[in-house]
Structure 1
C-alpha cells in the first residue's frame, strides 16, 4: 500500500499524515459529523474492549460468592489471564510490525525501529526488553491488584451510592458505557499533567518517556507510582453509579487500550487493501515533543482549552515553539531575579 497517498515523509524518513487531528465535532459545531465520530469511537477499539470485558465476565472471573473473599487463587488466575491477553495483543503487533516488519516503515511516524538504537537509559540497553519487563513484572500485577480490589468491593456491595444492575438501569449504563472514553481522557489528562511537573517527571514519569520512539511494549512501561495513578482510573466506579461489566470495560480501556497511543504506525496493514487505524498520532506527538497532548483524544478537549493541543499542523508547531520560547524566557527571568537578590 502506498502511504504517500495518506501522508508525507520528510528527509529523515519520518511520516506525517495529511489530515490534522480534530477534537470531537460537537465542540466545533460540526453536528453533521457526530454520527461518524460515534462510529469511530465504538469501532473497532471500544467494541474490542467491551468484548474482552464480557469474555472476562463470563469465562474468567469467578462467581460473586468467591470474589467476596480475597484469595490468591482467583487473584493469580486473573493475573495470568491479564498477562496472556497483553502478551497476545501487544506481542502480536510487536512480532508482526516490529520484528518481522510486515509493512516495513509504511505509515510509521518514526522511520527507525527501537531495536536499532540501544541506549544506557534502558535495562540491558534494550528498549524492548526494558519495556517488556516493566510491563509484565510491575505494570500488569498493579493493574490486576486494582481489578481484584474493585471486584472484591463489588462482591461485598461496597460503593458510595450502590452498584446498579442492567435490568433496572440499562439506559443509564448504556450512557455510562459511552461516557467511559471521556472519563478515561479526563483522568488521564489530570494525572498526566501532574506527573509532568518537574519533580514528578524527573523521579517518576521519565521512565515512560525514555521511549521517545514508542512501540507496543512501551505502552505499560512506567514507574510503579505512575502505574498506580494510571490504573486507579477504575476506582471512579466506586463513586459513579456503575456496574462491574462497565467497570471491567473501563479497566480494559486502560489496560489493553494503552496500546493505541504506542503502536507507532498510523495504520496497520491487515491486507493489501485493508488497514486498521491506530489512533496513535496524538500520543506519538506527545512522546516526540513532551509538553503537548496530555489527554489527546479530543472527546473532552482539555489540551485545547489549556493550550497544550498539537494537531500536527505547522500552525500548531509554531504555537508550541512560541510557548516553549516564552517558558524559557520566564525561567531565565526568574533565574536572573534570584541572582540579583
Structure 2
C-alpha cells in the first residue's frame, strides 16, 4: 500500500496529484499502481525502510493484525498442554473469538463507511453507491446479508477449523516451535515473509479459481461483489474459502511460533475485510486515521481477468496479468477476458 495525498475537504471532489485514469473512478491513488518495494532493482533501501515503517511500525491494518496476534497468542489463548486433546471448551473459544473478531472488523468498517456514512465518498474508489437495494442475485435478496452469511458461515468457520488443527499440532510438537529468545531475527522476519508467502499462494489459488469451469460454480459467488464492501472480503463459496485460507498450513513445514500462525490467519481473514472496504483509508478529524486501501485488488473486482495476486509481490507483472490502472491496461484486460471465456465455452 502507498501513502495518500491530502485530499480536498469537499467529499464529492477528491483528487490525487495524478490525472484521473478515467471517469470510472471517483478516487484512486497515484498511478501506476505499484508493488511493495522488496522487488526494486537496484534496491532502494530508503524506500523499503519507509514502507516497512508505514506498514509494520506505524498504525495500519497490518500492524494492528500483528498486535492482535500477539494478544491472542500470548494472553487470550496461548497454546498449552490442554490443547493436546480436542476439547469443547478451548475449541469453542477459537471459533467464537474468530466469529466475534470478523464481526467487529468487517461490521465496524461497514458501519463507518456505509451505515453512518462516516466520510461520504471521501477516498472512495467506486463512484457508484454501495448496493443496498434488493437484488435477486444475492442470497436473502441483499448484498450485505449475502456477504455476512458467506463470511461468517464459511469464512470464519473454515479459518477456525484450520487454527484448531494447528493449535493441536503445536501442542503435540508436530510443528517445530520457534522462540524469540533463540532466533530473534528470524522470529521478526517471519511476519513479512508470511505476507509474501500469502501473496504467492493467493496468486496460484486465485488463478485456478478464474478458470471458466471453476469460476462458474465457485468463484462467481465472490465476484457478485463488483462494488465491494468490508463484508465482501470473506464472502466466498466454501470450496474457495478452504483453498484461500489453506495458506495458513505453511506453518506445518515452516518452523514458527503460534503468534505467526495467528497473524497469518488474521491477515487472510481480517485483512480481506479491510482491503475490500472500497476506500483507501479511514478519514477522521480531517486526517488519515488508518490506511486500509487495496486499489490493486479493486481493479481486479472491476475488470476480473487481471491482478490475481496482490501488491505484496509482482506475480501479475511477471506473468502478464498486471493492470496498472491505465486505460490501455483496461483494453488489454478486456481482450484477455473475451479470449478466456471464448475458450471456456
TM-score scaled by length of structure 1: 0.89
The partner residue of 2:252 within 238, 255, 258 is 238
Q: Secondary structure at the match of 1:269?
A: strand
> Does residue 19 of structure 1 match 2:31?
yes
Can you list the C-alpha shifts for 1:10-59, whole angstroms capped at 9, x where unaligned? Answer: 65673333433112334332614222222233142221111111111233
Q: Which moved more, 1:13-22 or 1:267-276?
A: 13-22
**Other-structure match for 2:5:** none
Distance of aligned partners of 1:23 and 1:9 in 2 relative to their CA distance in 1, 3 Å threshold:
closer
C-alpha displacement at 1:73, in angstroms? 1.1
> Does residue 213 of structure 1 match 2:230?
no
> Does residue 320 of structure 1 match 2:333?
yes
Distance of aligned partners of 1:120 and 1:313 in 2 relative to their CA distance in 1, 3 Å threshold:
same
Distance 2:273 2:74 in 1: 24
Q: Secondary structure at the match of 2:282?
A: strand
> Does residue 110 of structure 1 match 2:122?
no
8 Å Cα contact 2:305-2:334 kept in structure 1 = no
The structure carrying a bigger helix percent of its residues is: 1
Distance of aligned partners of 1:316 and 1:15 in 2 relative to their CA distance in 1, 3 Å threshold:
same
> Does residue 150 of structure 1 match 2:163?
no
**Other-structure match for 2:319:** 306
Q: Which moved more, 1:16-25 or 1:212-221?
A: 16-25
C-alpha displacement at 1:96, in angstroms? 1.3
Can you list the C-alpha shifts for 1:278-318, whole angstroms capped at 9, x where unaligned? Answer: 23211111111111111121x32111111111121233224
Distance 1:18 1:182 in 2: 23
Distance of aligned partners of 1:287 and 1:73 in 2 relative to their CA distance in 1, 3 Å threshold:
same
Alignment of 1:225-264 (within 5 A): 225-264=239-278
Distance 1:300 1:11 in 2: 28
Distance of aligned partners of 1:323 and 1:51 in 2 relative to their CA distance in 1, 3 Å threshold:
same
8 Å Cα contact 1:261-1:282 kept in structure 2 = no
The structure whose Rg is larger is: 1
Distance of aligned partners of 1:249 and 1:111 in 2 relative to their CA distance in 1, 3 Å threshold:
same
C-alpha displacement at 1:113, in angstroms? 3.0
**Other-structure match for 1:339:** none
Distance 1:116 1:286 in 2: 22
**Other-structure match for 2:67:** 51
8 Å Cα contact 1:219-1:259 kept in structure 2 = yes
Unaligned runs of 5+ in 1: 336-341
Q: Please, what is the CA RMSD of the aligned residues?
A: 2.2
**Other-structure match for 1:5:** 15
8 Å Cα contact 1:114-1:128 kept in structure 2 = no
